[in-house]
């Protein structure tokens, strides 16, 4: 549970000095060392045996600070009924000393009391400089605070005509405040939260006031001081628990000239009441942050959606361009491209479209697949790749032609179908697998072959290798020339 530490000066009305006549403000003129005290040299001092300084708080720790000097003596500190004795004497003056300190207290109300126990008249001084106490608020983190200005509707002034609104007040927040001189006139703050602080002014004309929390009387605090102080914590309480609470301050003047002045209030609230004058984000700002976050998430989701959509489209296009039929379970080998034959693709199961027989040795080797189009246009006749041609085929190395797969982009031919002859080209008789093309004249064979300048004509399998030159790479990559 997070801890918050508060500090109040010796003049704070929450410190009760009894009897009031025994305690006096430090005299800066008479005491040359007064400037060593905090808050511009303010301290409250007594010399009377049995005089007490009492502080009531809700929290888990407290420390009361003062000085130890050569004219200081013994004193006692009582906390929750336990008395401890201390010696405030020091040959050399030391300041900002912890006269009494307690920590790790059970969270709740506590009352430390300092008592002057010195009986010697030579060293019977006891003074108070300031008090620090620790408050536990919230669970895992300190909850937000809400500031209510004196004109906030959460403040209720009764009777309303007994209170006046003061402006241009130096030392007041927003230079405004509410003030009353009427006895028993009250101001009530209604709030949601577990801790509250009420701020105002004290001084020579300030009056004592009665404090109530949730209609229960806490006690009377005296705001009368020798000097004017603004922005003073008139009252603080914590450990109220969640829900709605009220704090009431009632004016109890000793004479008609005394007044009660209210500046503002600070509430620590786990449920966060965002009324006017509050600190932190407004409801509009919170809505804006939420809307912005939602829009940002939606934009990121759209970007991811379109990115994945485009990626899937690219993958689908690539899969469409290359489609392989892998129906043959055994002996799959890549086809060999023969770029110098200008004829339609051969069906795996149909007859040779050129009417030429395949030898058994050629049939058992890797099959040839024609990737070039037979379109009659001059562009594709010049040797350019036809984009509509069938893709490469995977064929089986086994001897059975029935196991050869066909391209998914070509129409399978049947054994009864015959190839359609090219324009301006004589039809070549079909040859069976057992026939030979050796009986065909060269004129017939030439009419079925593409002419490549500088390359000897290939008429298929030859009886001998004499006089037949295989194409080299330069000849293979030369452009095609259509024979006139």
Looking at the fold, whether 151 and 131 belong to one and the same domain comes out as no
Looking at the fold, whether 342 and 469 belong to one and the same domain comes out as yes
DSSP secondary structure code for residue 61 in this structure: E
What's the gap between Cα 149 and its chain centre? 33
289: in domain: no
336: in domain: yes
State the CB neighbour count (10 A cutoff) for residue 227.
11
Q: CA–CA separation, 259 vs 164, rounded Å?
A: 11
Looking at the fold, whether 386 and 468 belong to one and the same domain comes out as yes
Looking at the fold, whether 338 and 397 belong to one and the same domain comes out as yes
Looking at the fold, whether 99 and 151 belong to one and the same domain comes out as no
Q: Which of 144, 155, 389, 393 is nearest to 260 (CA)?
A: 155
58: in domain: yes
275: in domain: no
What pLDDT does residue 348 have?
A: 40
Looking at the fold, whether 396 and 331 belong to one and the same domain comes out as yes
Block means of pLDDT (10 residues each) for the chain, 484 residues, are 89 97 93 94 96 96 97 96 96 97 95 96 95 85 87 97 92 94 97 95 97 95 95 93 93 94 91 47 68 85 82 65 47 46 43 42 41 44 46 43 45 46 50 53 62 58 54 62 51
Number of structural domains in the chain? 3
295: in domain: no
340: in domain: yes
125: in domain: yes
What pLDDT does residue 13 have?
A: 97
Looking at the fold, whether 111 and 152 belong to one and the same domain comes out as no
Looking at the fold, whether 70 and 173 belong to one and the same domain comes out as no
What pLDDT does residue 284 have?
A: 62
What pLDDT does residue 469 have?
A: 59
Looking at the fold, whether 132 and 173 belong to one and the same domain comes out as no
Integer CA distances (angstroms), 112 to 303, 316, 424, in order: 65, 82, 122
CB burial class (10 A; 0-12, 13-18, 19+) of residue 277?
middle
Looking at the fold, whether 472 and 356 belong to one and the same domain comes out as yes
What pLDDT does residue 351 have?
A: 45
296: in domain: no
What is the pairing mode between strands 44-46 and 126-128?
A: antiparallel
Integer CA distances (angstroms), 434 to 82, 345, 353, 417, 430, in order: 124, 22, 16, 19, 12
CB contact set of 64 (below 8 Å; sequence gap of 6+):
53, 55, 77, 98, 99, 100, 101, 112, 114, 128, 131
CB contact at 8 A, 118 and 75: yes
Q: Give Dmax (Cα) for the chain.
A: 150
Q: Which of 136, 160, 189 is the last residue of a domain?
A: 136
Looking at the fold, whether 330 and 473 belong to one and the same domain comes out as yes
CATH code of the domain containing 51: 2.60.120.260
What pLDDT does residue 293 have?
A: 86
Looking at the fold, whether 85 and 149 belong to one and the same domain comes out as no
Structural domain of residue 39, as residue ranges? 3-136
What pLDDT does residue 159 have?
A: 97
Q: Which of 84, 106, 136 is the last residue of a domain?
A: 136
Q: Which of 136, 160, 187 is the last residue of a domain?
A: 136
């Amino acid at each position: 549970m997070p801890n918050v530490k508060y500090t109040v000066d010796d003049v704070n009305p929450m410190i009760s000095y009894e009897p009031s006549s025994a305690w006096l403000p430090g005299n800066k003129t008479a005491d040359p060392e007064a400037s060593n005290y905090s808050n511009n040299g303010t301290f409250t001092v007594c010399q009377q045996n049995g005089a007490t300084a009492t502080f009531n708080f809700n929290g888990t720790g407290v420390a009361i600070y003062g000085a130890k000097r050569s004219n200081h003596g013994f004193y006692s500190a009582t906390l929750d009924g336990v008395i401890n004795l201390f010696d405030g004497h020091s040959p050399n003056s030391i300041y900002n000393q912890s006269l009494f300190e307690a920590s790790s207290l059970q969270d709740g109300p506590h009352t430390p009391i300092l008592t002057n126990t010195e009986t010697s008249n030579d060293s019977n001084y006891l003074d108070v400089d300031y008090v620090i106490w620790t408050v536990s608020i919230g669970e895992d983190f300190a909850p937000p605070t809400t500031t209510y200005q004196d004109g906030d509707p959460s403040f209720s002034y009764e009777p309303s005509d007994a209170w006046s609104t003061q402006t241009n007040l130096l030392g007041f927040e927003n230079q405004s405040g509410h003030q009353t001189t009427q006895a028993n006139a009250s101001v009530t703050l209604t709030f949601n939260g577990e801790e509250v602080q009420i701020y105002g002014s004290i001084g020579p004309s300030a009056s004592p006031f009665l404090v109530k929390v949730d209609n229960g009387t806490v006690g009377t605090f005296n705001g009368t001081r020798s000097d004017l102080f603004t922005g003073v914590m008139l009252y603080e309480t914590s450990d109220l628990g969640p829900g709605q609470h009220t704090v009431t301050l009632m004016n109890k003047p000793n004479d008609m000239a005394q007044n009660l002045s209210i500046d503002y209030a600070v509430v620590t609230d786990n449920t966060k009441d965002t009324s006017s004058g509050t600190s932190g984000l407004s409801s509009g700002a919170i809505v804006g942050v939420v809307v912005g976050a939602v829009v940002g998430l939606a934009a990121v989701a759209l970007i991811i959606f379109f990115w994945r959509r485009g990626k899937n489209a690219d993958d689908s296009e690539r899969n469409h361009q290359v489609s392989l039929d892998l129906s043959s379970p055994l002996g799959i080998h890549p086809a060999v491209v023969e770029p110098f034959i200008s004829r339609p693709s051969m069906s795996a199961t149909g007859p040779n479209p050129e009417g030429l027989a395949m030898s058994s040795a050629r049939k058992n080797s890797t099959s040839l697949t024609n990737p070039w189009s037979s379109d009659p246009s001059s562009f594709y006749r010049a040797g350019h790749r036809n984009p509509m041609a069938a893709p490469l085929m995977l064929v089986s190395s086994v001897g059975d032609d029935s196991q050869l797969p066909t391209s998914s982009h070509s129409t399978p031919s049947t054994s009864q179908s015959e190839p359609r002859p090219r324009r301006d080209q004589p039809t070549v008789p079909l040859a069976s697998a057992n026939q030979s093309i050796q009986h065909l004249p060269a004129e017939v064979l030439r009419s079925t072959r593409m002419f490549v300048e500088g390359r000897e004509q290939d008429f298929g399998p030859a009886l001998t290798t004499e006089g037949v030159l295989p194409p080299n790479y330069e000849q293979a990559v030369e452009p095609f020339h259509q024979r006139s």
